[in-house]
Amino acid sequence: MSNPIVEKPKLEPQARESRLWMPERVLFTPAALAEPWGQQILSRVQALNLPIEELPRNRLTGLRGSDERETYNNSKRTLAVVTTPPSAFKLSPIPPSADWQFHIAEGCPAHCQYCYLAGSLSGPPVIRVFANLPQILDNLTKYEQAGHRTTYEVSCYTDPLAIEHLTGSLEMCIRHFGTREKGYLRWVSKFDAVDKLLDLPHNSHTRCRMSVNAAPISGRFEGGTASVSARLQALRRLALPRSKGGGSYPVGLVIAPIMPIENWRSHYHRLFDQISEALDFECDLTFELISHRFTPGSKEVLQKWYPHTQLDMDEATRSIKRNKFGGTKYVYNADTMKQLRCFFESEIAKRFSIARVLYWT
Ligand code: SF4
């Protein structure tokens, strides 16, 4: 008798989250260890059996290698638990993403060859997490205006989901904003470990976004991240109603950095197919569209971090954009920008009629 064909039960995609990042060293400053939130992080990393070192002073040392590449490698394998400098309590605006930015960490364990942090954060790219989180959150309430919706972006200098298993800080932020009357949180990630966030009392005051890109860009330039399909499954779970096992969050997609690679229309068309499949139900969805750009400073840092990168950073093919402080950015020329923008806006309008495009840049 031939074997009957037994259909295997379909594994829900959520059962296959990507591997979590584990640092090779975890450094604590004395000030971080004096904070209750620092102690909470200590318990987490102890439970994971990670090698822990207590620094003698509140300064990070011992990360520099013999060259930039070695410094990069040492830093990207290190988690440093520190406290913020007093300047962190003065918030900066972050248009067009949100009213204000704040930071629960600086640095990211992934290896994106176009990384936005290059040139923004100085020094070795170690992953610093902040142990004085309750004070950071308390300070935010000063920026809320009565009767006025105020939004806060927490992912400008880190990927908060990439390190959440080590800190619990994103969960704490979501809980905090769930209690605010007019304060709203926004975060974005290229990781997918969202399980622990699904049941939190967010009160729809947190918008969870995933950053995605066309396959050739993501495959070539986004080392150490979860795959785009894993990110989309994570977003699906965050957006699904609670009755279906999801988190019932408002969600968003950040398509970035958009690049006019060869056959870009068909590659991005395929990305939209994947998004449509993952979000095949009605949900509160936004899009943010960001074309690739670089500055002289970010190019210099990225070329040291990724000396063999194939990322196009040829100034000769770009237009110059200056900001009000005299800074220079290299962006695509007006005609390319127009074609890209037109394509993205029309695909979104066709496929997601109730989604909002927050901005194109
Ligand atoms: Fe940089 Fe974001 Fe990539 Fe992390 S995920 S390396 S912050 S671009």
CA separation for the pair 83, 136 (Å, rounded): 10
Cβ–Cβ under 8 Å, residues 37 and 173? no
Look up residue 162 and give its two tokens.
């990439």
> What is the pLDDT averaged over residues 196-225?
98
What interface predicted TM-score (ipTM) does this complex get? 0.99
Q: Is the CB of 116 under 6 A from ligand 1?
A: yes
pLDDT band at 16; cut points 50, 70, 90: low
Q: Is the CB of 311 under 6 A from ligand 1?
A: no
> What is the pLDDT averaged over residues 244-266?
98
pLDDT band at 216; cut points 50, 70, 90: very high
> What is the pLDDT averaged over residues 21-42?
98
Q: What is the pLDDT of residues 104-115, one digit of tens each?
A: 999 999 999 999
> What is the pLDDT averaged over residues 125-143?
97
Residue 359 pLDDT > 60: yes
Average pLDDT, the chain: 94
> What is the pLDDT averaged over residues 145-161?
95
Residue 159 CA to ligand 1 centre (angstroms): 7
- 22-173 CATH fold: Rossmann fold (3.40.50)
Q: Is the CB of 41 under 6 A from ligand 1?
A: no
CA separation for the pair 143, 90 (Å, rounded): 10
Looking from the CA of residue 107, the nearest atom of ligand 1 is 7
The predicted model scores a pTM of 0.93
> What is the pLDDT averaged over residues 309-331?
93
Which residue among 103, 104, 117, 221 has the greatest number of ligand 1 atoms within 8 angstroms of its CB, and so is best to mutate?
Answer: 117
Please check whether the domain covering 190-292+332-361 is classified as CATH 3.20.20.10. Answer: no
Residue 49 pLDDT > 60: yes
Alpha helices in 185-333 (DSSP H): 215-221, 228-239, 264-278, 296-305
Residue 51 pLDDT > 50: yes
Q: What is the pLDDT of residues 63-109, one digit of tens each?
A: 999 988 899 999 999 999 999 999 999 999 999 989 999 999 999 99
- Provide Rg for the chain, Cα atoms: 21
Residue 76 CA to ligand 1 centre (angstroms): 12
Domain spans of the chain, in order of start: 22-173, 190-292+332-361
pLDDT band at 147; cut points 50, 70, 90: confident
Q: Is the CB of 110 under 6 A from ligand 1?
A: yes
Q: Is the CB of 76 under 6 A from ligand 1?
A: no
Q: Is the CB of 108 under 6 A from ligand 1?
A: yes
Q: Is the CB of 115 under 6 A from ligand 1?
A: yes
Pick the closest to residue 357 from 255, 244, 220 (CA basis): 255
Q: Is the CB of 159 under 6 A from ligand 1?
A: yes
> What is the pLDDT averaged over residues 260-280?
98
Peptide bond preceding 260: is omega within 30 degrees of 0, i.e. cis? no
Which residue among 159, 187, 218, 254 has the greatest number of ligand 1 atoms within 8 angstroms of its CB, and so is best to mutate?
Answer: 159
